[in-house]
Structure 1
Amino acid sequence: MVMGILSWILFGLIAGAIAKFILPGRDPGGIFVTMLIGIAGGLLGGWLGSTLMGAEGVTGFNVMSFVWAIIGSLILLGIYRLVFHGRHRSHA
């Protein structure tokens, strides 16, 4: 269990960088927020993949696990941009 969580954190850091590459642009918070979004996205992707593919669908370091981490990071980065860019525009 602990190794699985650590894997998703590591995947999340890398997936966050890839999500930022796929969805370029200025984000409030900079690189540290992007890293946190990546970690949370990796955990979200792990949970989604396990839920959608069954209890043994996503485990360890493999391509499918990495894909799910990127998907989770893209989802959270998109939500983050909707929430914070919307607030930024309303005050301008």
Structure 2
Amino acid sequence: MGIIAWIVVGLVAGWLAQVILGGRGGLLANLAVGLVGAIVAGAVLPRLGIFIAADFLGNIISATIGAVIFLFIWRAIRGA
């Protein structure tokens, strides 16, 4: 996947995580959360035995799951 596709996946996943968990954030915050979520999903989901198709939609789904996990832990640590 190209860099533009990764940016789009990060933006969409970050925005979806924000919608799911609530809160506010801008374009860069959503991008950062989505990209970190993709890394988290790549590390966590296979260890849980969860394998999602490696196509564009599958990348968005897994990155969103990872972003939700990341935001949940981040907010628990920050107490927000």
**TM-score, normalisation: structure 1:** 0.61
TM-score by length of structure 2 reads 0.67
Q: Structure 1: which 5+ runs fail to align?
A: none
8 Å contact kept, 2:10–2:30: no
Size of the aligned set, in residue pairs, is 77
Q: What RMSD in Å do the two structures reach over aligned CA positions?
A: 2.7
- Matched with 2:13 is 15
For 1:35, the equivalent position in structure 2 comes to 31
- Of residues 59, 71, 75, the one that matches 2:65 is 71
Q: Work out which of the two has the higher radius of gyration on C-alpha atoms and give 1 or 2.
A: 1
Cα deviation code 1:18-61 (max 9, x no counterpart)? 110111125xxx4233321111102322444455356xx54231
Structure 1 residue 76: deviation in Å? 0.6
Percent identical:
34
The residue that corresponds to 1:60 in the other structure is 55
Q: Per the alignment, do residues 75 and 48 of structure 1 end up closer, same or farther by CA in structure 2, a change over 3 Å counting?
A: same
